[in-house]
Amino acid sequence: MIIGMLHHRKDPQKVVKSYAFAAVAKAEGAELLYFTPKAVDFSQNVIHGYVYVNGVWEKKDSPFPEVVYNAGSPEKLAKSHNIIAKLKELIPFTTYSIGNKMRVYQRLKLEGKFAQYLIPSEVIHSTRRFFDLFNTYRKVVFKPVNGRKGQGITYIEGVRDRYNIRSCEGNCVLSFEELRDLVAQKLRDESHLLQPYINCKTKSGISYDVRLHVQKDGAGKWLITAIYPRFAPEGSIVSNINSGGSTNYLIPFLKQEFGDEYFNIKRYLEHFSLQLAAHMDEVQQKYFNERIDELGIDAGLDDLGKIWVYEVNWRPGCPPTFYLELDVVRNMIKYAMYLARERKDMYNNITGGTSIGVKPFRREVYA
């Protein structure tokens, strides 16, 4: 079986995770073909890609793979939209975008099943609307709609006629006029949303959230890859690892914070992560006829122990602290092989098993 790894970078040596994917694919009895959109030749049904052989990436002209793991930057791959769209008609892809924060929020709110776990969120279009909501909540989080890795998040708290500000740029106290100007500037730069602040802190007063990392396995079922707390640096509310946050193992953390209730909290988080992933998968299929392969759910526990969903990420990173890189890759490879087998079985059921692989799909579509 050939598993394609589609990326925007031409040289696989510049993509660190390509080595792990090639090694795990081989261990699972498959071959990884690394390629870019420009390497696809539809006239010959060939891809001019790379395979990893004896520690070296070698060029290889290969038949189309049975499945494609689309690993590159969506923004950079968008330049080759027509090629990728054509390829998707022929070959199953593993990974699909779930959209930005507000689109995910709106779909989940509309569906209703998990609406109670969503933090009220609204895209802000004016300083007037900002202050209308701020005066309701008094403690808010203001962040870019398309933000990534915790960047651009600002915490704002009203204290009498002053406003305490915390962000990655630093902490300060502003007057009403200064805050109004700051909000106006941020709105000019990019689209922002506002949420009430959820108090999720350790006993020692450190802000934290919990990353729920789930993937699909070789049977197309959701499994938990990892659940771990992430702690904000002192004086910050942003716990993202890329913004200076830190992490720890789940069970010691739960025992320290929740005592004898740690096991129930652990089961609560596990059950919630699998249920939300399954629901989001259903929603993605309903709206876009696509399936989700992996999610990183960022959640908080308030003073009453209720889960609140901060955001859902469709390409979660995995901190090296836990040595889970190969687990993540193994799950991805096994799921890719599952999709390929599913497509093969579907075709055999239609044709009576007279042919195998994706090549007949290409001839049928582009005859």
Block mean pLDDT (10 aa), the chain, length 367: 96 93 96 97 96 95 96 89 95 92 93 96 95 95 83 89 85 93 94 93 91 96 95 72 73 94 96 98 95 95 92 80 80 96 81 49 32
* Count of all residues that appear for the chain in the document: 367
**Short-list 292, 310, 298, 299, CA closest to 97:** 292
How many CA atoms does the CB half-sphere of 287 hold within 13 Å? 18
What DSSP state is assigned to residue 273? H
For 332-335, the CB contacts below 8 A with 24+ separation are: 332/21, 332/69, 332/94, 332/215, 332/293, 332/294, 333/3, 333/21, 333/24, 333/25, 333/28, 333/30, 334/28, 334/217, 334/218, 335/94, 335/215, 335/216, 335/217, 335/218, 335/220, 335/293
pLDDT for 360? 38
pLDDT for 357? 43
pLDDT for 319? 64
C-alpha to C-alpha distances, 322 to 167, 277, 328, 333, 352, nearest whole angstrom: 28, 22, 11, 20, 46
Distance, in Å, from the CA atom of 233 to the CA atom of 283, rounded to the nearest integer, reads: 35
Residue ranges of domains in the chain, CATH in brackets: 2-95+327-366 (3.40.50.20), 101-117+201-314 (3.30.470.20), 122-196 (no CATH)
Q: What is the dihedral of CA 332, 245, 229, 247, to 10 degrees?
A: 80
Geometric angle at alpha carbon 285, from 279 and 291, rounded to 5°: 85
Q: Are 195 and 183 in contact (CB under 8 A)?
A: no
**Short-list 2, 8, 215, CA closest to 92:** 2
Q: Are 229 and 248 in contact (CB under 8 A)?
A: yes
What DSSP state is assigned to residue 117? G
User: Which pair of structure tokens corresponds to residue 34?
Assistant: 């690394």
User: Which pair of structure tokens corresponds to residue 123?
Assistant: 């895209």
Distance, in Å, from the CA atom of 235 to the CA atom of 222, rounded to the nearest integer, reads: 36
pLDDT for 322? 63
For CA atoms 22, 23, 24, 28, give the dihedral sign: positive
pLDDT for 315? 84
